[in-house]
Structure 1
Amino acid sequence: MNDVLFVVGDTPVSVGAALVGMAAMALLVLLAIAAVIARGLHGGNAATLAQTRRAAELEQRLSDLIRYQSEANGRVDAMGRALAGRQAEMAKAMSERLDSVTHRFGHSLTQSTRYTMQSLQALHERLGIIDRAHDNLTELTDQVTTLRDVLANKQARGAFGQARMESIVQDGLPKGGYAFQYTLPNGKRPDCVVLLPDQRPLCIDAKFPLEAVTALREARSDAEKKAAAQQLRTDVMRHVDDIAGKYLIPGETQDTALMFVPSESVYAEIHDGFDDVIQKAYRARVVLVSPSLLMLAIQVMQQILKDARMRDAADQIRTEVLHLSDDLARLRERVSKLQTHFGQVNDDVRQILVSADKIERRAARIEELDFAAPETPAPPSNPEAPLAQERDLFASRAFKIDEVSAG
C-alpha cells in the first residue's frame, strides 16, 4: 500500500493514495451523473411546454407564410399579367416602330436610289460633255499644230493670209465688185482689188512679213529684242514701199492701198509699239488693216457700190415715177367721173323715191275710196308711164356706171 507508484513534482504517490483518489473520483462521477439525471427530469416539462409554444408559433408563422405566399402569388400573377400587357404593348410599339422605320428606310432607300441614278445620269452626261470637250480640245490642238506648221512656212503663211482676206472680201462684197489676182495696167497683179464706181480699183495686199514679228516674240535678251524690232521696221517699210511702187498708179488705181495683217494681236502689237512705221505707211498712202478693220472697210465700200447702183438706176426710177404719176392722174380722173355718175344715180334714186311716195299715196286713197278731184293736174292716160320712164332712166345710168367701171 505504501509502495510509490509515481512522483508528482517532488511528492511521491503511493498505491493507497492512488486508490483513495480513484475512489474519490468515482464518487464524484456518480454524483455528477445523479445531478445530471435529476436536472433532466426537472427540465423535461419545461422543454415540453417550450416545444409546444414553439410549435404553436411555428404553426402561426407557417400560416402567415402560406398567407404571404398566396398574396405573393397574387401579386406575382398581377405582375405577370401587367408584365404580359406591357410586353404586348411594347411588342406592338416595337412592331409599329419597326414598320415605320422599315417604311422610312424603304422610302429613304428609294429616294437615295433615285438620287443616285440622277447623279449617275448627270455624271454620265458630264462625262459625255468632258469627252466631247476632250475631242474638241484634241481637234483644236491638231488645228493649232497645223496652224503652227502653216505659220512656220513662208509660202503657207502667205496662203493663210490670202485665204482669210478672200473670205472677208467674198462675204462683204457682191460678185462683180471685186477680183483676185487682177492685172493692173503696169502688169502687176495684187492679191485683191475692189472695183469701185469710178473705174479705179482699190488694191489689197495680203503678204505681210510675219518673220520679224515671230523673231521679236521669240527674243529673250534686250539685244535680241532690239535687233528684232529693227528688222521688223525694215521689213514692214520695205513691203510698204513695194506696195506703193507696184499698186499706186496715178489715174489708174485709187490713191490708197491696203496692207492686210492677218492677226489682230500682230496688228495691235505693231500699232502700239511701232507708231513710226504706221505714220510712214500713212504718208506712203498705204494703210495697215487687221481683219476687223478690213471688214469695216469692206462694209463702207459695199455702201459705196450700192449708192453707185442707185445713181445708175436713177433715170429708170425717174421714168417709172412719171409713169406712176400718169397712172395716178388717170385714176383720179376716172374716180371723178365715177363720183359724178354716182351723184346722178343719187338724184335718180331720189326721184324714184318721190314717185314711190306718190304711188303709195295714190294706193292709200284707192284703199280709202277717196275719188275726190286732186289738186294737182290730171295724170296722163297711162298711170304707169312715169314709172317706166324712171326705170329706163335708172337703167341708162346704171349702164353708164358699168361702162365707167369697165374703162
Structure 2
Amino acid sequence: METNTLLAAPLLQLGVHTVSFGGALLFCFGAVALFFLVTAWRASHARAIAEVQAAERARDAEMRMAEILKSQAEMQGRMQTMAEVFGSRQAELNQSIRERLDGMTSRIGQTMTEQSKSTHENLAKLQERLAVIDTAQNNIQSLAGQVVQLQAILANKQTRGAFGQSRMEAIIADGLPRGAYEFQATLSNHNRPDCVVRMPNGMPSLVIDAKFPLEAWSAIRDAGTPEAKKLAIAQFRRDIEVHIRDISEKYLISGETQDTAFLFVPSESIFAEIHENFEGLVQKAHRARIVIVSPSLLMLSIQVIQAVLKDARMREQAHLIQGEVIQLMEDVSRLDERVRKLQGHFLQANKDIDDILVSSGKVTKRGAKIEALEFGEKPDDDAPAKTAGPAAGSATGQLRLRVVEDE
C-alpha cells in the first residue's frame, strides 16, 4: 500500500500534466530498454555490414589473388623470355668479351714486343751513354790529375816562374818567325831578360819580362783574415814596385832596347784585378815605361810586330817586286798582241766561211734548177705508120723544160 502510494506520488508538473514518480520510473525503464534495443540493432547491423564487407573483401582478395596468379604466370613467362634473352645476350656478351680479350691479348702482346724492343734499344743507348760517361769520367780524372800537377807546379816559386815563361814563349813562338826573337839573350850590361824581340830597320829591341811575383798574389788569395789580407796586399805592392824598378834599371838601355818594356802577367783574371784594384801600381809602371800585359795583349802586340816585320820585308824586296811587275806587264803586252793576232785570224776565218756559204748557196740553187728538168715521150697520132726505115715504129721525142725562177 505504501509502495503504490509512493509510485503514485506526483514528481513534477508539466503544464496541465502531472508526472508521478512511478510514471517517471517507468519512462526511465522504457528509455533504457529502448537504448539497449537500439544498441543491439546497431550491433547486429554493424555485424551485418562487417559480414558484407568481409564477403566483399574475400571477393576482392580472391580477385586480387587471381590477378596475382595471372600476373605471376605472366611474370613467369616474361622471366622465362627474359632468361632466354639473357641467355642469348650472355652468349653474345661472352663471345664479344672473348673476341675483345683475344684482341686485347694480341695488342698487349704486340705492345709488350714493341716495349721490349724499345727497352732493348734504350738499354743499348744507355750503355753507349754510360760508355761515353765512363770516357768523360776518365778524362775528368786525368784532368784532375793534371790540375793537381798544375797546383803542385804553381806551389813552387821557380815552377811558377817557369810556367809564366813557357806561356810567354809559346805566344811569341807562334806569332813571330825564327830570328825575330831570342830567349834569355844577354844584353850589353850582362843582364839576361826573358825575351828580346828584334825590331826591323836596325831599331832597338823590345824586352819582355815574365817574372811576375805570383807568390805575393797567392798570399792575398790565401789570406784568412782582413789583417792578413791587408798585409799581403802591402807585400804585393812592394814586390811589384821592386820588380818594376828592376826592369827599368836592368833592361831599358838607350840605343840597345826600346824605351818601353813589357811585364807579362800569365793570367787574364790577375791582369783584370790589378787594373781594377791596384791602379796606383799601373800608373807607376807607366811612369817607369813598363807596360803590364796579359796573354791576349801580348798576342795582340806580337801580331802588330809581325805586321811591321812583314811591311819591312816588303820594303826590302820592293825593287824585286817592281822588276817582277815590269816583267809581268811585258808578258801582258805580248799576250795582248797575240790575242789581237788570233782575233784577226778569227775574222779572216769568218770571212772565208761566209764566202763558202755563198758558194754553197749557188751550188744548191743550180742543183734545184737541174732537178726541175722533166723528160718524157709524146706519140704523134696524125703521122702515118711506116713499115720500114730505121725510125719505123718510133715516135718523135719531145723535151719539156720548166724554168725555175731564182728566188
Letter in 1 for 2:200: P
1:288 correspondence with 2:321: no
Given the alignment, which residue of 246, 251, 255 partners 2:250? 246
Give the drift of 1:79. 6.7
Bigger mean CA deviation after superposition, 101-110 or 208-217: 101-110
Q: Is the 8 A contact 2:193 2:251 kept in 1?
A: yes
Within 2, Cα distance between the matches of 1:347 and 1:113? Answer: 84
Task: Summarize the alignment of residues 94-109 of structure 1 with structure 2, pairs less than 5 Å apart.
Answer: 94-109=97-112
1:234 correspondence with 2:238: yes
1:319 match:
323
1:187 correspondence with 2:190: yes
Letter in 2 for 1:169: I
Given the alignment, which residue of 134, 142, 147 partners 2:145? 142
Within 1, Cα distance between the matches of 2:213 and 2:325? Answer: 54
2:394 match:
none
Higher helix proportion (structure 1 or 2): 1
Q: Is the 8 A contact 2:216 2:236 kept in 1?
A: yes
Within 2, Cα distance between the matches of 1:254 and 1:232? Answer: 27
Within 2, Cα distance between the matches of 1:229 and 1:122? Answer: 54
Within 1, Cα distance between the matches of 2:346 and 2:76? Answer: 129
Paired residue secondary structure (2:190): coil
1:167 correspondence with 2:170: yes
Q: Percent identity?
A: 54
Within 2, Cα distance between the matches of 1:153 and 1:269? Answer: 22
Aligned residues: 301
Within 2, Cα distance between the matches of 1:247 and 1:135? Answer: 47
Within 1, Cα distance between the matches of 2:227 and 2:164? Answer: 30
Task: Summarize the alignment of residues 3-402 of structure 1 with structure 2, pairs less than 5 Å apart.
Answer: 82=85, 84-200=87-203, 202-334=206-338
What is the CA deviation profile of residues 222-274 of structure 1, one whole-angstrom value per residue up to 9, with x for unaligned ones?
Answer: 32222211111111111111112222111111221111111111111211111
Letter in 1 for 2:225: S
2:375 match:
none
Give the drift of 1:147. 1.2
Mark the CA change 1:113 to 1:251 in structure 2 (over 3 Å): closer, same or farther. same
Mark the CA change 1:97 to 1:310 in structure 2 (over 3 Å): closer, same or farther. same
Mark the CA change 1:355 to 1:276 in structure 2 (over 3 Å): closer, same or farther. same
> Relative contact order (alpha carbons < 8 A, sep ≥ 6): 1 or 2 greater?
1
Extract unaligned runs of 5+ from structure 2.
1-72, 368-407
Give the drift of 1:145. 1.2
Extract unaligned runs of 5+ from structure 1.
1-69, 364-407
Letter in 1 for 2:170: S
Within 2, Cα distance between the matches of 1:304 and 1:320? Answer: 23
Give the drift of 1:103. 2.0
Give the drift of 1:341. 7.4
Mark the CA change 1:85 to 1:315 in structure 2 (over 3 Å): closer, same or farther. same
Paired residue secondary structure (1:259): strand
Mark the CA change 1:333 to 1:92 in structure 2 (over 3 Å): closer, same or farther. closer
Within 2, Cα distance between the matches of 1:117 and 1:239? Answer: 66
What is the CA deviation profile of residues 341-386 of structure 1, one whole-angstrom value per residue up to 9, with x for unaligned ones?
Answer: 77788889999999999999999xxxxxxxxxxxxxxxxxxxxxxx
Please give the TM-score of this superposition, normalised by the length of structure 2. 0.63
Please give the TM-score of this superposition, normalised by the length of structure 1. 0.63
Mark the CA change 1:188 to 1:84 in structure 2 (over 3 Å): closer, same or farther. same
Letter in 2 for 1:319: G
Give the drift of 1:178. 1.9
